[in-house]
Structures are given as structure tokens and as C-alpha cells.
Amino acid sequence: MFWLAVASDDAPAAAQVLHDEERASMTDEQRRAADAVNALGEDDNTCPACFGTIPRGEARCPECGLRFS
């Protein structure tokens, strides 16, 4: 972990640069899993482990058993 100091007005742009750099270092599967995690809270979610469908409110993926809580 590291700290980055930027002016308040530059914070959104700095965060975007860091986000883009991180995504550039990921494999396609890692990007897909990250996108699935970012979408949690929608009506139907995608499991970041198996990419199965998790109905809203479920604590576990019905396909692979990954637990969310």
C-alpha cells in the first residue's frame, strides 16, 4: 500500500489514473471478476469466482458456494 497526495481538484483524475493502471496489469479473467464485484448490490449479481448468477439478498453463490457477508 502507498499514499498519494494530490490537490482536491485533482483527486478524481488521480484516482482514474490509478484505476486504469491497475486494470492494465490484470488478465481478462481478473478484469471480469473485478467488474462482477463492483456490480454487487444489483438485482442479480455475478459471482466473481465462478461467474454464476447470485440472486439479490443471497449470502452464498448457489453455483460455487462463495460466501458474501
pLDDT bin (cut points 50, 70, 90) of residue 1 is low
In a domain, 58, yes or no: yes
Residue 39 has pLDDT above 70, yes or no: no
pLDDT at residue number 25? 93
The residue range of the domain holding 60 is: 36-69
pLDDT at residue number 55? 86
In a domain, 50, yes or no: yes
Count structural domains, the chain: 1
Residue 38 has pLDDT above 70, yes or no: no
Q: Which string of DSSP letters, residue by residue, matches the chain?
A: -------GGGHHHHHHHHHHHHHHTS-HHHHHHHHHHHTTTSSEEE-TTT--EEETT-SB-TTT--B--
In a domain, 66, yes or no: yes
In a domain, 44, yes or no: yes
In a domain, 3, yes or no: no
For 7, counting Cβ atoms within 10 Å of its Cβ (0-12 exposed, 13-18 middle, 19+ buried), the class is exposed
pLDDT at residue number 59? 84
